A and B are shown apart, each in its own frame.
Chain A
Amino acid sequence: MTASELGTPIQGVTLYSFTRAFHGREYDLEGLIRKVAAEGYGPGLEIIGFSSFRGFPAIDDRFAGEFRDLVEEQGLVTTSLAINADIGIHRDRLLDQDELVAYMTRQIEAAAKLGFPIARVQISITPDSMERLAPIAEKHGVTLALEVHADQYASHPRILALRDRYEKVGSPYLGFTADWGATVSGFAPSALEAYRRRGASEELLAKVVELWDRYYEQGPPADQAEHGQRFGSFIGLAAQHGRSDLGIDFGINGTGLFGPARVDDWLEIMPWIRHVHGKFFGIDENGEEPSVPVRDLIRLLVENGYSGAVSSEYEGWHWNNWQDAFEIVRAEQAVQRSAAENAGSRMITDAAEARSALAAHLAQPVTR
């Protein structure tokens, strides 16, 4: 493929979008998979191992077979299994990298068993450890897509160090998951509404927006220290207004969910983007995402020839308990499809086409 060919991204969803419905026991895993298929949120299907599979990463053969049959019967295509780098699993110390490699290996094996061609991995894995995991990924036929998530972003030093190592190793099994939360353009209005409902004053909320906008103008934090300062400034703001109880939440959302990098920052790692988290937080009265530039992000992918999967990842459920996540995802996917068409292409919604497009995307050698 040449860079001038337009991409056709694959539509899909992560079950993480429906956390409230699963956690609230409205749908079990099978019910949720059937719902995704019936409502047309696929064909791409992403699942978080530790959220949806009891006993994960241990997966017995019978369960794996039933799961794969269900996905196929429902006309869905497994894209990414989100696995976790739980480096802080012990209370008194962090895992060393040997332990972390072993911890990830069990989950990569689970991804292969369940039929996922991609495993989303996380930032605590060093370049050395990613290099060690490459042959394990290859053995199991699972591409490792390390998630670039706020407070990091594509041109962050830690991500560039990974990219440079990928380039040296040259394995098609090492890449990135681009999470759109790194390139947000505003503090999500639905989050502000949730704080309003918790009694936050309009004055405080205006200050939160002002602070976030200032960081957007400055661009993303250069390093962990600057990230920490910003986190602390949200806590300080809440304290100044007598709402210390909201401070950590402002900090987590303002720095860890709403990352202020620009859309074209993704170009730094574009050839290594194997999967995309279409992170978003809500849909406004005009049917648009008010704080994530979904249209620009889809255009960027299309124009750069991306034909991998985009998992719609609705994360407004953390605070939005007054709107239906299923309807919100439906509306966001309509924006994605419209954006792809406006960019002269389309989203893939057919399962067979999605399967072959994803296989071709993952087999593609990296060329800069």
Chain B
Amino acid sequence: MISDRIIEQGTLTTDGSRASVEVRLPWYRALPGSCIGQAQLTIDGVEAPVDSLRWRMNGREFTFAELSSNTEEWWFPTDSAVLSGDLAIDGDAEHEVRVDLTVYIPYIIIGDGETLHIEENSTKTMKAVAA
């Protein structure tokens, strides 16, 4: 697994009320939206409200509920996705960014029909750029 690469350095942006960061797949092969589970975006120790989180990939924005049933849009291993949420942070300042991400591995079935999931996280410090 490649959890050290989840957060793309230098990609934190803010528009005053929302913050976003680019994230990379911590796995070796493309996965569809349905295999992208929960995410958390935490900046300087403050977690973005779960309902406010959005996921952008392949030029489209999704809620996590929309992702959960989507088997058409795939996250390719060399593409960055964008995770955003309601967090008011200062532009032009250093911030500690943490991303937690759960992905399901659709060909590994453990126990009673349960699909293996992996929970990864990464923390990086970077300067925010005003959007």
Using CB atoms and an 8 Å cutoff, list the residues of chain A in contact with chain B.
16, 19-20, 22-25, 28, 48, 50-51, 54-56, 84-91, 94, 122, 124, 224, 228, 231, 248, 256, 318, 321
Contacts and interface: CB of A to CB of B under 8 A. Distances in A.
A23 B109 contact: no
B113 A224 contact: no
B83 to A, nearest CB: 18
A23 B111 contact: no
Interface stretch (B39-47, B48-56, B68-76): B68-76
Contact of B106 (A28, A56, A84, A321): A84
Contacts of A50: 29-30
A86 B106 contact: yes
A122 B34 CA distance: 20
B5 to A, nearest CB: 7
A87 B34 contact: no
Contact of B24 (A23, A87, A224, A248): A23
Interface of B: 1-2, 4-5, 24-25, 28-30, 32, 34-35, 68-69, 71, 74, 76-78, 104-111, 113, 115-116, 118
B113 to A, nearest CB: 5
B115 A88 contact: yes
Contacts of A22: 77-78
B106 A23 contact: no
A246 to B, nearest CB: 13
A11 B105 CA distance: 30
Contacts of B109: 87-88, 94, 124
B107 A122 contact: yes
A24 B77 contact: no
Contact of A94 (B29, B105, B113): B113
B78 A23 contact: yes
Contacts of A25: 78
A54 B2 CA distance: 20
